[in-house]
Amino acid sequence: MRGLNRAEICDVNFSEFVREWGGHADAKPAADESILDGSALDARGFRELFESQLISRHLDLMARVLRVQNKVFYTIGSSGHEGNAMVARATRHTDPAFLHYRSGGFMAERFRKLPGMDPVMDSALSFAASKEDPASGGRHKVWGSKPLWVLPQTSTIASHLPKAFGTAVAIEQGKRIGHALPIPDDSIAICSFGDASSNHATAQTAFNAAAWTAYQRLPAPVLFVCEDNGIGISVKTPDGWVARNFRDRPDLDYFSADGLDLANGYGDVQQAVEHCRRTRRPTFLHLRTTRIMGHAGTDFEIEWRSIEELCAVEATDPLLRSAAIALESGLMSKDEILALYEDTRKKCFAAAEEADRRPRLSSLEEVMAPLAPYTPDAVAKEAARADYGQRREEVFGGKDKLPETQAPRHLAIQINNALHDLFAKYPETLLFGEDVAQKGGVYTVTKGLQKTFGPRRVFNTLLDETVILGLAQGYANMGMLPLPEIQYLAYLHNAADQIRGEAASLQFFSNNQYRNPMVVRIASLGYQRGFGGHFHNDNSITALRDIPGLVVGCPSRGDDAATMLRTLAALAKVDGRVCALLEPIALYMAKDLYEPGDGGWLTEYPAPGEAMPLGEGRVYGEGNDDLVIFTFGNGVPMSLRAARQIETKHGWKVRVVDLRWLVPLNDAFIREQAASAKRILIVDEGRRSAGVGEGIITAVVEGGYGARPFRRVVGADTFTPLAGAAFLVIPSEDDIVAAAGTLD
Ligand SMILES: Cc1ncc(C[n+]2csc(CCOP(=O)(O)OP(=O)(O)O)c2C)c(N)n1
Ligand SMILES: [Mg+2]
């Protein structure tokens, strides 16, 4: 049996190592003396770091024991990585940190930075998934803390690097636009990850963006800490690969430190931190670590590695080295070390037992409480707030130039006006993306914004959607209001994890202590004439439909876009929500509705003070009951045109309902509209499978109106082809008229 439980062996190894140590001890150093000759670490510093390492180790050991008793629910540990405590010591508790899951040492050390906090109890509550876990409220075992500026991460490796980069940039840019940062001006962003993770596209994206920034002599004070243990689960990183890959990257300044040896490593860690803080350049700290006790509690390494190899790895246990330093330096006796070791064990177990007695999440309401906060009255008030009139007049060039005094215009112009208004209202607004600055976007929707508000608030990014969304999270973390643009819906998909796994999950996994509000504008959907192909006409709304907490709006006309944008911005400001605005490209320039030249799709600009409540749809033909068409986006003008034909053909009075809000769908509103409908048609330009149409039908059926004749007109489950064939795969007016005929 000996050999199976490597945690037990590592535990025993430590005590045996201390007991059997036979080296020579120096005279005990004073607290402020170097721990060993030539070390940058003094005796007090060493002692505290050693204690942090021990806390981390005993949390791991405790988790292995109590997991099987169902008192603890997570066993990915930090053993072998405890040297990352040095990074916490060399930085401040106000340097935002996005941490690797092996950060027990870092956390224990950072807890020292504020008085009255207890790393053992806080961590135990998180391990136990207790409702009282101060990081996530029992939703996940995370390393996180509001007062300590540790923004919680879950476990998608590398997904946190873009937002760490974004936060570093935001620290600098906040200062440049006169925004009051929540942390000191010379803060840096810290981000740690494993050696295998350094290869991930999402990691590479962040390194590249950081170097791209530094190359232009722009500041990006991010400290990338690669904790290199030479392995990822069971796959070895080629020897020397991390150094080879990062040592000579221009504009990513490389430092290395021995994370297995506090006395030796601390000076190098300090240097890397100081370099990052002073030069404001992206800095890569290659921290040597090892991994003992396997990837997680379920990883029985003995089954796939030789015992000799395991023993060799365990011999590099950094705690053995720390014990040796304590003994060699004369700082601690064997008995003192062993007593500290056992005392820490007791504290961790006692805390875990106590945590197990605390309440866990026990209802769906409790689980979901922080997911999607919504305070309708405050949002409505904020959306309608119009106390910035003076600034508006400057922005639009005088009282007589205000957009609400102008003739009706099309969607692109009204979005542009609404963006100018948001910039005037919120000085902390930033707009960025691909080609959005001088050119004003592919469709000129952002034209003039940079000229009016300057390159610090309106700017082009590098061509990388993951970075665009990482930047957005960074700005939001620093209290700004980001309006990132994704040039086409098809290009959101390669970066969707930044919304799905990261931005939209932050409030949930931090128990609403952290929020990263944003409004992502996405040029979307099909029906473009003369500019075809799949990637410019993508109609996959499904990809956004099941992201918990996300709000998605899709206006079909200019006035709705303006009032919707005000509400989205208010949702972001008041409730910290992550929002997406799908802008139908084919309607940007649409001016007419029924006949060429009728101007039927032009709208007046709604003056500030008007806003569209979340979930509120627009009804055309109120009171018409013979046929009700539920639709959104391009489907709205198409359905209105089709309705005329249907009225002529069947003599029916037709009502067209523009849902406007796609996520969450307003089931109550759909039911209410369905209640008085004799027939129901759903016009959904998205794809058949898992599209909005399915949600509408579900609401109708669940509302008890499933017996009414209904039909769906919907896009096919296909990619969009080029040229005229593009129109074969999405609903047409003729399709709508024909489908209505089947309901007769
Ligand atoms: C994007 C993603 N792919 C796969 C995984 C599963 N996974 C979790 S940890 C891990 C290995 C990571 O190794 P490394 O970065 O070296 O960190 P270490 O665990 O060694 O500290 C893998 C493949 C994941 N969490 N995220
Ligand atoms: Mg590794």
pLDDT of residue 302: 86
Contacts of residue 5, defined as CB under 8 A and 6 or more positions apart, other chains included, come to none
Q: How many Cβ atoms sit within 10 Å of the Cβ of residue 356?
A: 19
- How distant is the alpha carbon of residue 661 from its chain centre? 22
**Joined tokens for residue 323:** 């014990």
pLDDT of residue 47: 98
Smallest-distance ligand from the CA of 160: 1
Smallest-distance ligand from the CA of 194: 1
Question: Which residue's alpha carbon is at the smallest distance from atom 17 of ligand 1?
Answer: 194
CA of 625 to the centre of ligand 2 (A): 64
pLDDT of residue 155: 78
| Ranges in the chain, pLDDT < 50 | 1-2
Q: How many Cβ atoms sit within 10 Å of the Cβ of residue 201?
A: 10
Q: Is the CB of 199 under 6 A from ligand 1?
A: no
pLDDT of residue 262: 98
CB–CB of 174/181 below 8 Å?
yes
Smallest-distance ligand from the CA of 196: 1
Q: Is the CB of 160 under 6 A from ligand 1?
A: no
Kindly compute the dihedral angle of the four CA atoms of residues 532, 534, 537, 538, in this order, to the nearest 10 degrees: 180
Where residue 434 falls (left for φ over 0; alpha for ψ -120 to 50; beta otherwise) is beta
CA of 234 to the centre of ligand 1 (A): 10
pLDDT of residue 4: 65
Q: Is the CB of 157 under 6 A from ligand 1?
A: yes
Q: Where are the alpha helices (DSSP H) in 1-42?
A: 6-20
Q: What atom of ligand 1 comes closest to residue 195's alpha carbon?
A: 16
State pLDDT tens for residues 124-174: 999 999 999 999 999 999 999 999 999 999 879 999 999 999 999 999 999
**Ligand 1 pocket test, candidate residues 233, 241, 497, most atoms within 8 A of CB:** 233
d(CA 555, CA 371) in angstroms, rounded, equals: 25
CA of 55 to the centre of ligand 1 (A): 24
pLDDT of residue 1: 42
Q: Is the CB of 104 under 6 A from ligand 1?
A: no
Smallest-distance ligand from the CA of 234: 1
Q: What atom of ligand 1 comes closest to residue 233's alpha carbon?
A: 11
Helices (H) and strands (E) counted in the chain, each on its own, are 26, 19
**Ligand 1 pocket test, candidate residues 79, 153, 197, most atoms within 8 A of CB:** 197
CA of 228 to the centre of ligand 2 (A): 5
